[in-house]
Amino acid sequence: MKHLKLYNESYQEILKSFKNWLDILGFADSTLESLPNHLQEFFYYLENHNTNTINHISTQIIKDYYEYLKTRNNQARDGGLSKAYLNKHLQALFKFNDYLKEHHHKGIQIHLKREEQNQRDSLQILTQDQIKQLFKATDYSNSQQRICKRDTVILVLLYSCGLRRNEAINLEIKDILFDAARIYVRKGKNYKERFVPINQYNLKVIEQYIYDYRPLFKNYKDTEYLLINYRGTPLQGQSLSNRLTKIVQATQDKTIIEKQITPHILRHSIATHLLEKGANIETISQFLGHNSLESTQLYTHLLQDKAKLTNDEQLHNLLREKRLQQQNYPNIPKGYQSPRYMDE
């Protein structure tokens, strides 16, 4: 809920400090906006219930606030808040608790569980043919060639390299390691650094953009950022998302357009495609920069769902191999067709 004015100066200062802390940790622009907004609503609730200091926040107050969220109207559409949106509010509280502990405070007691939702149902994945259509569409996604070539680079970074939106816009030219065939992600989520492999074809795409088309942007020498806009300043996250929308529209494919593709959908897609081609879950986890294998395991579940829906025998066999590998049976030869007793 936006436009909630806080009168408590202490809450105002904490809110500013909280946002700066998130920025230092390297969170995406969207998170830098959403989490402080959710925390601001919590502070607004506290003010209106005569809780004027952090030390007076009790477990019961937090529970009452959460019950209030469950009953308040959604200002963007009819009905209440979705489970996903409620979880965002909870995420803000948990992250605020982390902030307090890092700033020598005992923290707050949050005895709440996240709302259960089937993440697999909401996860959109593009087929490899649809990905090819997107790349083809960059040939005519704009009347200016420099924009079209930059659009191609955007797809290379988001899909072929599996970068998050914030990671892509923060890349500098020096982060493209041509000799090593790697991209150095210096500002990943939570400021985690990693090296992402990139093939020679995609390196040539980026190289052509850097030497032949990036110089066509105004003031291009004033910044080392790889992706720049008309003014020669770094491309912002929303602008990158807008370009992706233009690429999608350029396909003129209703099926693709209806998917409402975001940068993260491209990231999900490359992870799923790698898994389909037999890449192991640990490699994909490192490739994506996940903190744990739990985040990456979601893609295994997606493939299981797909195998059941399509009755794809080859996919069934691939998944059986992976389950055996996860159970530490190291002597399975590559390409081994596991027996059908592993069927679910």
| Helical ranges in 126-236 per DSSP H | 128-137, 145-155, 165-169, 200-208
Query: In angstroms, rounded to a whole number, what is the distance separating the alpha carbons of residues 180 and 213?
Result: 23
- Residues noted as catalytic: 164, 189, 264, 267, 290, 299
Q: Which amino acid is residue 56, in one-letter code?
A: H
The amino acid sitting at 48 is N
Looking from the CA of 148 toward its CB, the CA atoms found within 13 Å total: 12
3-state DSSP assignment of residue 176: strand
CA distance 55 to 74: 30
The closest alpha carbon to 5, from 67, 33, 47, belongs to 47
CA distances to 103, 178, 310 from 107, in Å: 9, 46, 49
Residue 73 three-state SS:
strand
